[in-house]
Structure 1
Amino acid sequence: MKKLKILHILQAVGGVEVHLRLLLQNLNPNKFEFVIIHEEKENTDPFVDKNGDVVKTYTTSIVRNINPIKDSNTLIKINSIVKAEQPDLIHGHSAKGGIFSKIIGAKLKIPTLHTPHAYSYLSAESSLKKSIYLFIEKLFVPLNNKILACSVSEKNRAIKDVGYPEDRVCVYNNSIKPIDQIKKLSFQQSWPDNYICSVGRPSYQKNIELMVEVISKLKEEMPQIHLVLMGVGFHAPNLEAVKQQIKEYNLEKNITLLEWTHRDDIFNIIKKSKLYISTARYEGLPYSIIESLALAKASVVTDADGNRDLIENNQNGFVIFDQNVESFKNKILSLLENPDLLKTFENNSIAKFDKNFNIDNTIQHLEEIYFTNRKK
């Protein structure tokens, strides 16, 4: 059987890079051939497939912000690569990868899937920017591409906000391998043994300022409360503001910031924590919370896209509406003070992971999506 050639276009950073690596390492290499085009400035390890073979990769300039000159030159370069490779299907990731994929797919008549990984208009801090970003997304709906959402919330955004017909939107949940082995920390622990944790760069999306507010309120009733916040050093525009906020609230002994954390260290820290929290304004489908499910952790999270797809209120954690600080504090306290409830939520978390987010069980669904949408 001839292999199906899938060409991915993306900025290989953060969760998007994790997503692609997981797909490549779990899709059947006897059925699929892969080609990748990503940002040239990204210092990334080679992409490999399930057999450990290096995947063919091109680099070009895929800048985050809108830049008409650079974007035009990039579009020309990507078009020439795609034309030479002649893939059976293009899979674009995030905003820029999606735009380039849709234009080139329409031009070369190659079926195209787009995974937004959280729509760009959700990141806009002003209503004007949000309207502009949403308008740009809507421009490409008529080009006959499809959305491959990474969560049900993202699917709903594509249909209700962007305007895609329901039959042109499908879902493949972000998924990971079961975490069977926890390695020792690669550095010396500097925080107390009793702690809660989160992963998130200080930014508008992650809303770490709200997290600090919650810890400040918790400290009033539980002086020894401690938060370990991982991953704060990557593209963190609000980091200095968060550090200042921690200082103003006198929380230096209650919050540990880890600017860079190896993936195995993240697993260790989540596993040994009491519970996981997220104050995000929006997500695609966050790998950090999927990992917390796989590690049998209860969570307290904001009612945001992605979060609500993973945490079911009163089942495997609590979902906080309207970013309510007092409610957030009370729900964390209720879990820390009720071991039986905490254990019930932990058991429900691992069950939810196995059913919906274990890549050993979900990858076949993605293979079916690829074959269904390939070039006929």
Structure 2
Amino acid sequence: MKIAYIITLPDLGGAQSHVYELMKGVRLSYQIEPVLITGREGWLTQRAKELGIETHIIPDLVREISPVHDWRANCEVQKLLQEIKPDLVHCHSSKAGIIGRWAARRCHISSVFTAHGWAFTDGVPEKKRKVYRFIEKMAGKWCKKIICVSDYDKNLALREIPELKDKLITVHNCIPDTDYRKDWSKYNPEQTLQIATVARFSPQKKIKETLELLSTALQKGMDIHVTFIGDGPLFEANVAYAKALHIGSAVTFLGARTDVEKLLPQYDLFLLLSNWEGFPISIIEAMRAGLPVVASDVGGVKEAVVHGKTGWLIPRDDSTLLQTYEYILHHPTEFVQMGQNARRAYEHQFMIRHMLNAIVENAYF
């Protein structure tokens, strides 16, 4: 069986990591031949080529809405599908999801779409929500299954586009295990609490708010340090903002890294404040490393983080974050237990085999 995987951008991120692990997994475990189609060269194309996976670049497949580029991309994808003749097309990300499903339909090839968070989710501006809701209502008719990465996203789709209810399934993001995890026997609650955030510097992630809350925590005498891992369009602006807040000694910006699995066990706590989410892979990476998680209670986050057991869920307005810091600093035994609980939760729910089996059995065949 040959499957063409289409995603708009190849840059390192949650959706790209998901596609990489999916292609690698189905190739090894199910003898499926994956083919990658994306808009340009990048992290994902490099990793795919290292595995010997056939890769194709469609330069007109761009993230921004562009009638000219989008029309050309559609024609190019159709032509490519006719050449490679896949048995199935699996689309990821909004733009590739629209173009890929339409091209597959025109070529009489079955398709599947994975929604890595809906563009009409809560927290997205209303005008944008209406446009994408209309588009997904149309595009959803062109494929046989729509994979939601959380029950939250599935329920959102049931509410907003109920016409597609028979196509919707939930498959949580899962990741392969590593040898890197937190050694809690060496944890010293008397030392500075080391916090890690893995996120793209974009409007979706509340980096500015995180910096402001860090500043307030320091003013209250809390001994904490936050390290940001990732980059994005707002990276430089937030680095400058940290300097303006005079918190340079309590914050580190590492930029984009490809060794996150090695870095995370060096920290004590994982933090992710967001305006909206689907089902963040970064949270699963933290749980795999054995870290307690503090995250905004948005999207499908609560399906990974069990409040009071594997971490803490923070309201969208971030109102309880400082109290959570206080609790952690004064309850080291419970804090360590939460890290151990997070690791066990990963082992029971979010190992890669769970995702592969669910997608292959429920969406491919």
Aligned equivalent of 2:40:
40
In structure 2, the CA distance between the partners of 1:142 and 1:312, relative to structure 1 (3 Å rule), is: same
- Is the partner of 1:7 in helix, strand or coil? strand
Q: In structure 2, how many angstroms separate the alpha carbons of the residues matched to 1:241 and 1:268?
A: 27
Is this contact kept in 2: 1:123–1:204, CA < 8 A? no
Aligned equivalent of 1:7:
4
Pick one of 319, 326, 334 that aligns with 1:333: 326
What is the CA distance between 1:370 and its match in structure 2?
Answer: 4.1
Aligned equivalent of 2:155:
156
What is the CA distance between 1:279 and its match in structure 2?
Answer: 0.4
Q: Which runs of 5+ in 1 are unaligned?
A: 184-191
Aligned equivalent of 1:56:
54
- Is the partner of 1:121 in helix, strand or coil? coil
What is the CA distance between 1:145 and its match in structure 2?
Answer: 3.6
Q: Which runs of 5+ in 2 are unaligned?
A: 183-190
What is the CA distance between 1:229 and its match in structure 2?
Answer: 0.8
Q: In structure 1, how many angstroms separate the alpha carbons of the residues matched to 2:87 and 2:362?
A: 13
Question: For 1:22-77, what per-residue CA distance to the aligned partner results, in whole angstroms no more than 9, with x for missing partners?
Answer: 1122224453111111112436554449xx74111111021111110111011001
- Is the partner of 1:27 in helix, strand or coil? helix
In structure 2, the CA distance between the partners of 1:203 and 1:78, relative to structure 1 (3 Å rule), is: same
Amino acid paired to 1:256 = T
Is this contact kept in 2: 1:283–1:306, CA < 8 A? yes
Aligned equivalent of 2:136:
137
Is this contact kept in 2: 1:10–1:37, CA < 8 A? yes
Is this contact kept in 2: 1:246–1:252, CA < 8 A? yes
Matched, 1:247 2:278: no
Total equivalences in the alignment: 353
Q: In structure 1, how many angstroms separate the alpha carbons of the residues matched to 2:180 and 2:321?
A: 31
Q: In structure 2, how many angstroms separate the alpha carbons of the residues matched to 1:45 and 1:329?
A: 41
Is this contact kept in 2: 1:6–1:87, CA < 8 A? yes
Aligned equivalent of 1:316:
310
Q: In structure 2, how many angstroms separate the alpha carbons of the residues matched to 1:275 and 1:19?
A: 23
Aligned equivalent of 2:291:
297
Aligned equivalent of 1:215:
214
Pick one of 261, 279, 282 that aligns with 2:273: 279
What is the CA distance between 1:222 and its match in structure 2?
Answer: 3.0
Aligned equivalent of 1:168:
167
Question: For 1:85-126, what per-residue CA distance to the aligned partner results, in whole angstroms no more than 9, with x for missing partners?
Answer: 222211000001100122123222322111121223349863
What is the CA distance between 1:223 and its match in structure 2?
Answer: 4.4
Aligned equivalent of 1:21:
20
Matched, 1:358 2:351: yes
Is this contact kept in 1: 2:48–2:55, CA < 8 A? no
Aligned equivalent of 1:186:
none
Aligned equivalent of 1:349:
342
In structure 2, the CA distance between the partners of 1:42 and 1:111, relative to structure 1 (3 Å rule), is: same
- Name the TM-score, length of structure 1 as normaliser: 0.86
Pick one of 343, 346, 368 that aligns with 2:361: 368
- Is the partner of 1:229 in helix, strand or coil? strand
Is this contact kept in 1: 2:288–2:342, CA < 8 A? yes
Aligned equivalent of 1:102:
101
Amino acid paired to 1:260 = A
Is this contact kept in 1: 2:207–2:238, CA < 8 A? yes
Aligned equivalent of 1:268:
262
Is this contact kept in 2: 1:158–1:164, CA < 8 A? no
CA RMSD of aligned residues (A): 2.4
Larger CA deviation: 95-104 vs 148-157:
148-157
Question: For 1:319-340, what per-residue CA distance to the aligned partner results, in whole angstroms no more than 9, with x for missing partners?
Answer: 0113233x11111221232112
Is this contact kept in 1: 2:147–2:171, CA < 8 A? yes
What is the CA distance between 1:281 and its match in structure 2?
Answer: 1.4
Amino acid paired to 1:170 = I
In structure 2, the CA distance between the partners of 1:38 and 1:32, relative to structure 1 (3 Å rule), is: same
In structure 2, the CA distance between the partners of 1:223 and 1:321, relative to structure 1 (3 Å rule), is: closer
Q: In structure 2, how many angstroms separate the alpha carbons of the residues matched to 1:126 and 1:363?
A: 34
Matched, 1:80 2:79: yes
Question: For 1:302-330, what per-residue CA distance to the aligned partner results, in whole angstroms no more than 9, with x for missing partners?
Answer: 011132221111121110113233x1111
- Name the TM-score, length of structure 2 as normaliser: 0.89
In structure 2, the CA distance between the partners of 1:364 and 1:101, relative to structure 1 (3 Å rule), is: same
Amino acid paired to 1:319 = L
- Is the partner of 1:119 in helix, strand or coil? coil
Is this contact kept in 2: 1:123–1:205, CA < 8 A? no
What is the CA distance between 1:361 and its match in structure 2?
Answer: 4.0
In structure 2, the CA distance between the partners of 1:179 and 1:332, relative to structure 1 (3 Å rule), is: farther
Amino acid paired to 1:37 = I
Matched, 1:237 2:233: yes
Is this contact kept in 1: 2:92–2:115, CA < 8 A? yes
In structure 2, the CA distance between the partners of 1:197 and 1:228, relative to structure 1 (3 Å rule), is: same
In structure 2, the CA distance between the partners of 1:111 and 1:358, relative to structure 1 (3 Å rule), is: same
